[in-house]
Structure 1
């Protein structure tokens, strides 16, 4: 390459989002040698084609990959490179989880109040409920509380609820024991997800409420803390109470419905209810999948975003799901046909959107 096409280390560094000192370090480490070095001044010069490699190195460093790991990724083919990155992320998550556990031990050693007991539950049952509810959490940066799971304890029940405003999932468990008075908190969903292995592995867990966190403690004394989120959680009780009475009830095989949804490739899907069937379609050009169903009520159709409807069906309990349908713009209730302790609300989309979004010809 002609020297006139090379760029200085400072210009190259700015184009890659890397400091010049980091580029010198990568050169010394054998990860990114300059395209040329001035023999008199020692100045390093780089080629524009090296930007992609430099940015890749920077991003791998951003996820704390060591230099020898980066070298292996850069030398590998795309398949092996992806595998190496996945292995690194697994180790990174394990280290983070261990760090959280260590932090809890240190805080206890330093005398942080252990919190007060609110309930005792079976670990595997709680873990299963958390996994089902997490699918409805949100990622709105303006409403961080939607990234949490609402825990509500009464002397008779433990209820978990999550919503992203387009869907809502709630499940009620019967605790082994529960305290009084009633208690509620919104627990960070990411922390709950990370705590699932410990929760699932404990036969019994005490739920303890602290000022800024909730702890799940085993009979042996091991505890896992999860942060609580501030801010008001959406009034899901009023939403559930205000739901219009369902006009149509549909019972259909969960696996068959999931399979029909998976066959469609569009962002928005249409559910069409007939006398004894439920049809899944997207645009007029896509095949229609008709499923045998038990239908009680008038026919009709609704439109849903795939990312809203599919998780609502996938997290349902049991072999069959029941769809309770009010009207074309009312939330559809998705629940197990014979297990009523998990309920999910899925908000329909505007029926006119399906052709516009899916590209159906006018």
Structure 2
């Protein structure tokens, strides 16, 4: 194959509408492998004829199709049978949606009806945070809005005196969905910790470059990294370690903004509803949409005051060096996220064991649940369908450590990268971007039978 046909992973990601991190996830899942992987550098290269497959994967994942079903569609040589697989998945989604609607109808029937024309009736299908502002953090934001405005004004003053060679604001602004950013902050915030002796553990690292936006947090026992594909990327790379308490205060406001622009300042990161890009047709359309929304008398007015989240005085740990120092993955498991969550929620003990056996078995066993003869009691085992590659392995986890890494995952399934029983497990998931969380297993409890 001529080298001229090879495309770098970054260029291929832009061409097919996926992030580079999502492509790595799909490659490791065996769904879309690169055409060439450089043995010396590990760089991945694709060919132009793989673009159609990548776009198909993007569409299938957009309707929450699990990886095994995606693989089945891609492996089906008959287009009609492949389309039937997609139809089967959509029919299952329709059945689930019908069940949800039926439950919602029953819930509404159990409530007292509101008078006709009341705001609650008009906004009945609106998000809870819109209908009940008293419960969505708005009070805290109003209390802090004056401080935020003063901080934003101060940061702009600092920018005027910044170094002359600093890139213009238009080159550094990152624009993306407010609810998407708020959800990403919630996902990585599970790896933050309030410790007065180590304030850096209560921070989130923002890294922006021409390829995406990466959020990272760590509490020493977990490390969470979320990659996002913004609507507008930063032309020049930048990074900032931001106080997590400020971000937690700002998250409810972000959920109420259609789009926000992140702009780094000497004081922190400013979150604004105004785009930094020059006027363009897309910006003009957005302004018209906002004007129409403002004319809607039933619309709850959103506070568009910019927010400033402060920089930390601490340097974020070099997490990439730590990741690079880990040994190669020995065993990889792919399974449905809901299956694993159900097993963790019904474990009944604070510590569980994961017994992984190739090619398709993973058992979740509450630690300490054995019969009087010392044999495992079959009624407490929870065997989950999974795709396993690599040697068998048994690991032990505290449920409160593993559960947040799984519940915050994106997409319908999770991938577990297992290194050794006493090394961190990487919990990975992907849709448009990806989420990766390192979580530490624990030593087996004394009542746990020895690993065979």
Q: TM-score range by the shorter chain?
A: 0.5 to 0.7
**Greater strand percent: which structure?**
1
3-state DSSP of counterpart to 2:257:
coil
Gaps of 5+ in 2: 1-133, 160-168, 276-303, 371-379
Larger Rg over CA atoms: 1
Q: For residues 219-278 of structure 1, what are the alpha-carbon distances to aligned partners after superposition, in whole Å with 9 as ceiling and x for unaligned?
A: 286301212211121111112222221111111111111111111233322111123211
Match of 1:103 among 132, 147, 171: 147
Shift of 1:173: 1.5
Residues 251, 337 of structure 1: 8 Å contact kept? no
Indicate yes or no: 2:188 matched with 1:133: yes
Residues 161, 170 of structure 1: 8 Å contact kept? yes
Q: 1:280 to 1:181 in 2, by over 3 A?
A: same
The answer to which of 159-168 and 266-275 deviates more is: 266-275
Q: Which residue of 2 aligns with 1:234?
A: 317
Gaps of 5+ in 1: 1-89
Match of 2:423 among 330, 334, 338: 330
Q: Which residue of 1 aligns with 2:346?
A: 263
Q: Which residue of 1 aligns with 2:440?
A: 347
Q: 1:107 to 1:226 in 2, by over 3 A?
A: closer
Using CA pairs below 8 Å that are at least 6 residues apart, which structure has the higher relative contact order? 2
3-state DSSP of counterpart to 1:175:
coil
- Give the Cα separation in 2 of the matches to 1:302 and 1:174: 34
Shift of 1:325: 0.7
Shift of 1:92: 11
Shift of 1:187: 1.4
Q: Which residue of 2 aligns with 1:309?
A: 402
Q: 1:134 to 1:108 in 2, by over 3 A?
A: closer
Residues 156, 265 of structure 2: 8 Å contact kept? no
Provide TM-score, normalisation by structure 2. Answer: 0.54
**How many residue pairs end up in the alignment?**
268
Q: 1:322 to 1:244 in 2, by over 3 A?
A: same
Q: Which residue of 2 aligns with 1:285?
A: 369
Shift of 1:112: 5.3
Shift of 1:198: 2.0
Residues 148, 162 of structure 1: 8 Å contact kept? yes
Q: 1:133 to 1:101 in 2, by over 3 A?
A: same
Residues 247, 324 of structure 1: 8 Å contact kept? yes
RMSD value over aligned CA atoms?
2.7
- Give the Cα separation in 1 of the matches to 2:431 and 2:310: 34
Q: For residues 148-167 of structure 1, what are the alpha-carbon distances to aligned partners after superposition, in whole Å with 9 as ceiling and x for unaligned?
A: 11101112221000111111
Provide TM-score, normalisation by structure 1. Answer: 0.67
3-state DSSP of counterpart to 1:355:
coil
3-state DSSP of counterpart to 2:246:
helix
- Give the Cα separation in 2 of the matches to 1:110 and 1:230: 17
- Give the Cα separation in 2 of the matches to 1:170 and 1:200: 20
3-state DSSP of counterpart to 1:316:
coil
Q: Which residue of 1 aligns with 2:157?
A: 113
Residues 152, 306 of structure 2: 8 Å contact kept? no
